[in-house]
């Protein structure tokens, strides 16, 4: 809404969501919530306007990759070159991608510059501009990596979608950094195993 210029609607939705967050804070008041973990840069920027540090008493927003790196939950050594696309709205606000990659994968990635052209509703509202940006991105990837099939890591769900549209002179598979990490550390079937475990062990439901 905010990106589309519908500021009044965005403010209404922000206030509605803040009410829900306050209810959550009351429900979990017995917990010490230190971090609010997100996996989307655009969500990070929008949630920054919610002042959640006041709702959850000092808790701070943090990208899931930086959270894993900071806590040392998973790490491994990758010998292959990792290709990285920095989103226009990057959620890595504390360590940055180089330090995060160093802690997670013991390597620094090859960063391919410029926008992927997806940009939330950009691809829908102005496809001509989006396609031009995507073509430039394709050229940059082709220059950086001398391969026909390339996996490009990123921290934005929208960018994953945009990168996967590059299928001409180079075929790109966009993938979230944390998904790649899960595949490497937990196996390619990590998602199915996680869902199976949740269904077996159950989970708590809260109504606000």
- Considering the domain architecture, whether residues 35 and 94 belong to the same structural domain is answered as no
Q: What is the mean pLDDT of residues 2-19?
A: 82
- Considering the domain architecture, whether residues 82 and 182 belong to the same structural domain is answered as yes
Query: How does the average pLDDT of the chain come out, rounded?
Result: 91
- Considering the domain architecture, whether residues 102 and 181 belong to the same structural domain is answered as yes
Phi/psi of residue 150, nearest 5 degrees: -130, 135
- Considering the domain architecture, whether residues 150 and 88 belong to the same structural domain is answered as yes
Q: What is the mean pLDDT of residues 146-169?
A: 91
Of 114, 142, 110, whose CA–CA distance to 130 is shortest? 114
- Integer Cα distance of 155 and 16 in angstroms: 27
Q: What pLDDT score does 4 carry?
A: 62
- Integer Cα distance of 89 and 97 in angstroms: 13
DSSP 3-state assignment of 29?
coil
Q: Kindly state whether residue 192 falls inside one of the protein's structural domains.
A: no
- Considering the domain architecture, whether residues 104 and 134 belong to the same structural domain is answered as yes
Q: What pLDDT score does 104 carry?
A: 97
Range of the domain at 142: 74-186
Q: Kindly state whether residue 35 falls inside one of the protein's structural domains.
A: yes
Q: Kindly state whether residue 203 falls inside one of the protein's structural domains.
A: no
Q: Kindly state whether residue 200 falls inside one of the protein's structural domains.
A: no
Q: What pLDDT score does 181 carry?
A: 96
pLDDT band at 6 (very low <50, low <70, confident <90, very high): confident
Of 137, 91, 140, 96, whose CA–CA distance to 117 is shortest? 137
Domains held by the chain: number: 2
DSSP 3-state assignment of 55?
helix
Q: What percent of the chain has pLDDT over 70?
A: 97
Q: Kindly state whether residue 201 falls inside one of the protein's structural domains.
A: no
Query: By the 8 A CB rule, do 24 and 208 touch?
Result: yes
Which range, 75-79, 165-169, 187-191, is most confident?
187-191
Domain boundary among 19, 44, 68: 68
Q: What is the pLDDT of residues 81-131, one digit of tens each?
A: 899 999 998 999 999 999 999 999 999 999 999 999 997 778 888 899 999
- Considering the domain architecture, whether residues 105 and 61 belong to the same structural domain is answered as no
- Considering the domain architecture, whether residues 138 and 99 belong to the same structural domain is answered as yes
Q: Kindly state whether residue 158 falls inside one of the protein's structural domains.
A: yes
Q: What pLDDT score does 136 carry?
A: 95
> The whole model's pTM is what?
0.89
Q: Kindly state whether residue 199 falls inside one of the protein's structural domains.
A: no
DSSP 3-state assignment of 38?
strand
């Amino acid at each position: 809404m905010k990106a589309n210029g519908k500021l009044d609607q965005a403010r209404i939705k922000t206030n509605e969501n803040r009410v829900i967050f306050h209810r959550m804070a009351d429900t979990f008041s017995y917990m010490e919530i230190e971090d609010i973990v997100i996996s989307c840069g655009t969500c990070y920027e929008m949630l920054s306007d919610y002042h959640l540090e006041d709702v959850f008493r000092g808790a701070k927003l943090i990208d899931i990759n930086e959270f894993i790196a900071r806590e040392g939950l998973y790490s491994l050594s990758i010998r292959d070159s990792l290709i990285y696309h920095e989103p226009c709205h990057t959620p890595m606000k504390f360590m940055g991608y180089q330090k995060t990659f160093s802690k997670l994968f013991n390597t620094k990635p090859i960063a391919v510059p410029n926008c992927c052209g997806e940009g939330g509703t950009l691809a829908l509202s102005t496809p001509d501009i989006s396609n031009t940006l995507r073509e430039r991105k394709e050229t940059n990837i082709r220059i950086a990596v001398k391969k026909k099939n390339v996996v490009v890591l990123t921290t934005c769900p929208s960018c994953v979608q945009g990168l996967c549209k590059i299928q001409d002179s180079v075929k790109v598979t966009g993938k979230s950094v944390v998904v790649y990490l899960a595949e490497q550390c937990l196996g390619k079937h990590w998602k199915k195993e996680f869902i199976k475990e949740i269904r077996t062990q159950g989970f708590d439901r809260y109504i606000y």
